[in-house]
Structure 1
């Protein structure tokens, strides 16, 4: 029970505003930058947009040379390996689906950040594939004023998969 002094008109509203302010302060802001890779979530969103747009140079730009990518049980251990072996397939696949971001959050701890995103993929054409839910975890490292992607982990399940 709150003391009567705190329940006085105007005081409760102030307590609520202060509480909301503290909640906002405790969680990282999700502010997208206008350009560049100066915000972790913006960096991840620009990376995803480049994949969806089919632009290999823009896909590779935020990746560290030693990026480690896990996808469907496979591993690419560098930007060059990803470019040579899996990038084209990812671009081709994303051209066939609509991507609906279900949720995204991020956290910064010094020069390290991570962003998690859940998306739903639905086929663009009459396709027997059921919609899929994708969980994405991306770890970033701050280099000077920019964020580089150092690890990507994608996993998915289709609507037909058992829980």
Structure 2
């Protein structure tokens, strides 16, 4: 069952990355490193949040992840999973986000993911239309990429 989930996740991730690029000649340079295993973890994390898959989202985070958002900090994957993860999932299910730029640089067992998105939609009766920015630091732990730090802003 776990293998089927991994294969489905990779297929969806590949599909999302292919669709996110649009006209490659116009966007050349805005999408770098998107085919790396670290980048695929970032995309799988976003997909898990968007689809409400708490188990997968949690599994992609390092236990000691730090998450900065809106002037607040969460200092572990468990803290995030028990607090803001569910509200993030509800929010992301209600809005549409388009990836404008995504660059991933791998430096040994560390990777840095930087992206910009355009988000539109209505949530709790309020219209949303903004560009967001995200920085993630990933670390290879036990042969798997884990998200060690996230900074979200808009």
Does TM-score exceed 0.5, indicating one fold?
A: yes
The number of residue pairs the alignment matches comes to 125
Q: How does 1:23-42 map to 2 (within 5 A)?
A: 29-31=33-35, 39-42=37-40
Q: 2:79 aligns with which of 60, 81, 92?
A: 81
Point out where structure 2 has 5 or more consecutive residues left out of the alignment: 1-28
Give CA deviations for 1:72-100 in whole Å, capped at 9, x if unaligned.
Answer: 11110000100111111100111110111
- 2:19 match: none
- TM-score normalised by L of structure 2: 0.75
Task: Determine if contact 1:98/1:124 at 8 Å carries over to the other structure.
Answer: no
1:153, 1:125 → 2: CA distance?
Answer: 22
Q: Which has the larger radius of gyration?
A: 1
Q: How does 1:42-53 map to 2 (within 5 A)?
A: 42-53=40-51
Change (3 A) 1:144 1:96: same
- TM-score normalised by L of structure 1: 0.71
- 1:117 match: 115
Structure with the higher fraction of residues in strand conformation: 2
Change (3 A) 1:78 1:126: closer
| RMSD value, Cα | 2.1
Q: How does 1:16-27 map to 2 (within 5 A)?
A: none
Q: 1:135 aligns with which of 128, 133, 136?
A: 133
Point out where structure 1 has 5 or more consecutive residues left out of the alignment: 1-23, 33-38, 157-163
Task: Determine if contact 2:33/2:103 at 8 Å carries over to the other structure.
Answer: no
SS at match of 1:94: helix
1:50, 1:138 → 2: CA distance?
Answer: 16
SS at match of 1:80: helix
